Structure 1
Amino acid sequence: MAGQQTSSLVLRCGVPEYEENRQRYFNRDDTSRYPAEIHMVYSCHDVATALQRARDLNVSVGVRSGGHLPSKPSLVDGGVLIDTTHLNHEVKYDPSSHEVSFGPAVRVYEAWKATDAVDRFFPFGHAPDVALGGFCLAGGQGLFMRGWGATITDWIVRLEIVVPDGRTLMASRQENPDLFWAARGGGQAFFGVVTRLWSRTIPKRQLFWRSFTFHIGDHFENLLTFAFERNKTTPKKFTETAVCVMHPKLFDDSADEVLSESSELILIVNVLAYADHLSEATDMLRCWDPVPDEIRSSLIEAKATSPVSWDEFFKLQRQINPEAPDQKWGIHSILNDPSVPLEKLISAIKPAMCELPTRSSFGCIYMSDTLNPDERDAVFSLPQQYYISTFTGWKDPSLVHSIQENMKRTYGKASTIACGMYIADYDQSSDSLHSPEPDLDANIVTGNIYSLKFNDQLIFIVSHPN
């Protein structure tokens, strides 16, 4: 790279572009952090220059691909923010290997459009505006995960990474395997800057869905048992199940932000199938029939298996989780311990799912069914049977304290049946709701400790204990 000219744009406080880019995050809560510089990078050389600049300033580095991590770890006060919006922002398909490559800021929607155009598919995420860099490094709860594992472990085959000393390295299971191991599932803790990713693909099929909508009333336990039990009998390959608990007025912007505690809730079970034709999809999801007698009186609507376009699917995701200049989000989640009995699990997560403090809040359970990730292959090592989360939305700043107290209380109970947390949701700041209590610190260091060596410095990673 000798003699190569940098094309990056460096933004500092005082120019309009700085403030516009500083606030470019999905979650508009707590943006009162001001990087010393924002580097809009276009190449690996630009990334290396930004890293050198951070060393010169003796400050920390944040790396942003899409800005969707709720805690905004890339927004480092006084640090250097590396923005990858323009870095390899394209999706390339290789017809000989059937692999696609893309930059870290390519969005899920863009990845779908590009792969669909060449009749291919790989399991990108569910939220259309999330960038693939953050999605993949966190592990990737991709579509139909229950049948083939996380996107980062079972689909991503190669990474291009700029490491702290400025070198650009390729990483795969054959080349720099320690880097490849550390990146996949390391999330915000990874110490390099991923500049391009490669994924294998398969021939595309058609998306189908069916759904059930219920009044919850006093039947939460029975309804959730129905969803969990039917999911177990659903073929694992090319299917997935999600449960959402919400206020019926979720989409009614004219309704009050804070609703009565007696406000009714609904529970929606949405099941997807990826098949070649309707009859195949119908057969794949047939096990969801019939609705048991004990919950039939709660049923509002049952929709039969039908084709759905990706545009329609992504539109629904945007409606549930909207982005707006004044929209703030508090996100808490757990991954359940698979050894916990179902009855105990449901009891522990009920407050997190049902005590929703605002109209725009909702509880979500994604049935990942990935129980035995291989810690020897990737940092991604926590079992992910069910991803259990609550998205708490608000606009009124005066609600912050009560919302935080609600999350602390409800997830205090949910954590009693947890084995950990999805790293994308983790807020590393010392005063966050996710910070471990002092007596939990000992548990953290009982995992396996791995080391990687760069520039004669050892970097240690502690992984989940077996």
Structure 2
Amino acid sequence: MPQPRYTTVPKYNSRVLVRGDVGYEVCRCNNPTADTPDRFPSEIHVVETPTDVATALKRATELGTTVGIRSSGHIMNLGNLIQDGILIDTVNLNRHINYDPVTREIAFGPSCRVEELAAKLKEVNRFFPHGHAPTVGSGGFLLAGGQGWFVRGWGATNQQWILKMEIVVPDGRTVIASRTENQDLFWAARGSGLGFFGVVTRFWGRTIPASKMWERILKFEVNSDNYETLMTWSIERGRDTPKYGTDLNLTIDYPQKYDPAYTTDDVPPGAKLHLTLNLLCYTDTLREARTLLSAYDNMPENVREWLIQFHPVQSRTFEEVFNRKRGFLGNSGKERWQINSIMNDPAVPLPRLLQAIKPAHLELPTRTTSVFMCHCDIVPDEEDAVLSLPQDLYISTVTGWTDPKLEPAIYQNMRDHYRRAFPVAVGQYITELDVNNDDANTKVFSDTALAKFLKIRAKWDPKELFPNYKKFVQAHDKINRLQNKPSL
């Protein structure tokens, strides 16, 4: 059966879909990647209320099976698809956004998309650091931590911006979790991603007055000879840039990625990689924006000689960025994606880091594969949330292809590159932990945060309705064995 085109507003003929039903396979495959694994839940519950969620959890208990949750499907390894389990699709769960002008808080459901939040915030002239990709759902984004807009100074979205959550816990109760109520649940939810042991049905977040967004763009030709020079300059200039109100992003890809004249997965003969810096800031005036992004003004000759395009600081809207992002994952329904990532160990010198990640950045196996890196500068507070690894740089490669015949070999290239980068990594972003293969999986929490998380999980989910946490444990144990292995 051909892959249906991904939609954020699907229509199904029933709230409970079973295999063989009209709509079951469309729902199961409604993900941005056409690479849907052959795992088939016994039932898919398209929930709309906390009561519906409780019914789905009860049904899983009756069947003696486990549960996976989907808010938008952007976690490409699709750990929410559990063979013979229950998939809870939250696409219609509290799919509305409310703004309280008295408290200046925004409340929304887990499948409210980034672009929907942005539209509401624009309407009320407020700011909340939602994600960068327009079709990402709030549930997956926030439970993973939330590398939101201007994260460098304002912190991960679930660190500084989320005030409370409404959660249906495994026994079917609906509870509120915050810093003053069910504190352990609130602690465990913020950063545990698909390993969380409950279903968040609503978030409440604080907002601040809206300002203006600005962007500066620099594009270079990058190759094996100049990689270290360009990357060193780019990263060091980022570290010289004020953290508060800036959003610094780097991509490496083939310009033919977006060219409709190219239709195969092959890298065109003679194609040259481009390194692009998308440098954004959030402030009231052009003068302030130029100051915030001025670290990139002084470009040495050995960097300037590779410059292809230069766009000075100019006004930008969230809608414009979203339109650019829409093409990143394609829209034909045929694109297949794998994401591998690490977060660097801040103590590792930059030359050593670049040496380790260079193959993952330059040896791209297909025309549509891209590198993405951003400055996060997230400092964790393990007392406050399970989000516990420092996030200096988020470093990833998104492998893309359309031809299923490339599988399974296509997966292994980047797995190997990122596995070899373990020595320079503190861990990885939790959304990229692969439930299908452990080769490139590394830590997603500190050891102490994981130990605390497991105790809280055992309290709230003693029957283990939510099994994905086991992959965290497996990866942690593997890395600890590697780190403790005596040198020969």
TM-score, length basis structure 2: 0.88
The one-letter code sitting in structure 1 at the alignment partner of 2:305 is S
Question: How far, CA to CA, are the matches of 1:384 and 1:444 in structure 2?
Answer: 12
Partner residue in 2 for 1:176: 182
Partner residue in 1 for 2:149: 143
Q: Which of residues 68, 71, 79 in structure 2 aligns to 1:65?
A: 71
Partner residue in 1 for 2:5: none
TM-score, length basis structure 1: 0.93
Question: How far, CA to CA, are the matches of 2:145 and 2:73 in structure 1?
Answer: 16
Q: Which of residues 278, 293, 299 in structure 1 aligns to 2:286?
A: 278
**What does residue range 306-345 of structure 1 map to in structure 2 within 5 Å?**
306-345=314-353
Question: How far, CA to CA, are the matches of 2:284 and 2:448 in structure 1?
Answer: 47
Partner residue in 2 for 1:4: none
**What does residue range 180-329 of structure 1 map to in structure 2 within 5 Å?**
180-217=186-223, 218-255=225-262, 256-259=264-267, 263-329=271-337
Question: How far, CA to CA, are the matches of 1:416 and 1:226 in structure 2?
Answer: 23
Q: Which of residues 448, 451, 455 in structure 2 aligns to 1:449?
A: 451
Q: Give CA deviations for 1:192-251 in whole Å, capped at 9, x if unaligned.
A: 000000110000111110011001132111101111111111111100211100012111
Q: Give CA deviations for 1:90-113 in whole Å, capped at 9, x if unaligned.
A: 110011111100000000000000
The more displaced of 11-20 and 142-151 is 11-20
The alpha carbon displacement at 1:260 in A equals 5.3
Contact residue 167 and residue 175 of structure 2 kept, 8 A: yes
Contact residue 147 and residue 157 of structure 2 kept, 8 A: yes
Question: How far, CA to CA, are the matches of 2:267 and 2:415 in structure 1?
Answer: 20
Question: How far, CA to CA, are the matches of 1:40 and 1:409 in structure 2?
Answer: 37
- Say if 2:118 is the partner of 1:116: no
- SS of the aligned residue for 2:376 comes to coil
- SS of the aligned residue for 1:75 comes to coil
- Say if 2:13 is the partner of 1:11: no
Partner residue in 2 for 1:3: none
Contact residue 256 and residue 367 of structure 2 kept, 8 A: yes
Q: Which of residues 324, 348, 359 in structure 1 aligns to 2:367?
A: 359
What is the identity percentage for the equivalent residue pairs of Structure 1 and Structure 2? Answer: 44
The alpha carbon displacement at 1:283 in A equals 1.6
The more displaced of 177-186 and 240-249 is 240-249
Q: Give CA deviations for 1:169-198 in whole Å, capped at 9, x if unaligned.
A: 000000000000000001010000000001
Q: Give CA deviations for 1:387-410 in whole Å, capped at 9, x if unaligned.
A: 000001000112123322211222
Q: Give CA deviations for 1:363-404 in whole Å, capped at 9, x if unaligned.
A: 11111011x301111011111000000001000112123322
Q: Give CA deviations for 1:269-311 in whole Å, capped at 9, x if unaligned.
A: 1100101121221121122102211111101111100001211
Question: How far, CA to CA, are the matches of 2:412 and 2:48 in structure 1?
Answer: 42
Contact residue 8 and residue 46 of structure 1 kept, 8 A: no
Partner residue in 2 for 1:128: 134
- Structure 2 segments unaligned to the other structure (5+ residues): 1-12, 481-488
Q: Give CA deviations for 1:433-466 in whole Å, capped at 9, x if unaligned.
A: 4356xxx9xx98676512226479498998989x
Question: How far, CA to CA, are the matches of 2:107 and 2:426 in structure 1?
Answer: 33
Partner residue in 1 for 2:34: 28
- Say if 2:424 is the partner of 1:413: no
The one-letter code sitting in structure 2 at the alignment partner of 1:280 is E
The more displaced of 395-404 and 330-339 is 395-404
The one-letter code sitting in structure 2 at the alignment partner of 1:134 is G
The more displaced of 212-221 and 449-458 is 449-458
Q: Which of residues 342, 346, 357 in structure 2 aligns to 1:349?
A: 357
Contact residue 352 and residue 414 of structure 1 kept, 8 A: no
- SS of the aligned residue for 1:50 comes to helix
Residues matched between the structures, number: 453
Q: Give CA deviations for 1:76-127 in whole Å, capped at 9, x if unaligned.
A: 1111111111111011001111110000000000000011100001100110
The one-letter code sitting in structure 2 at the alignment partner of 1:344 is R
Partner residue in 2 for 1:103: 109
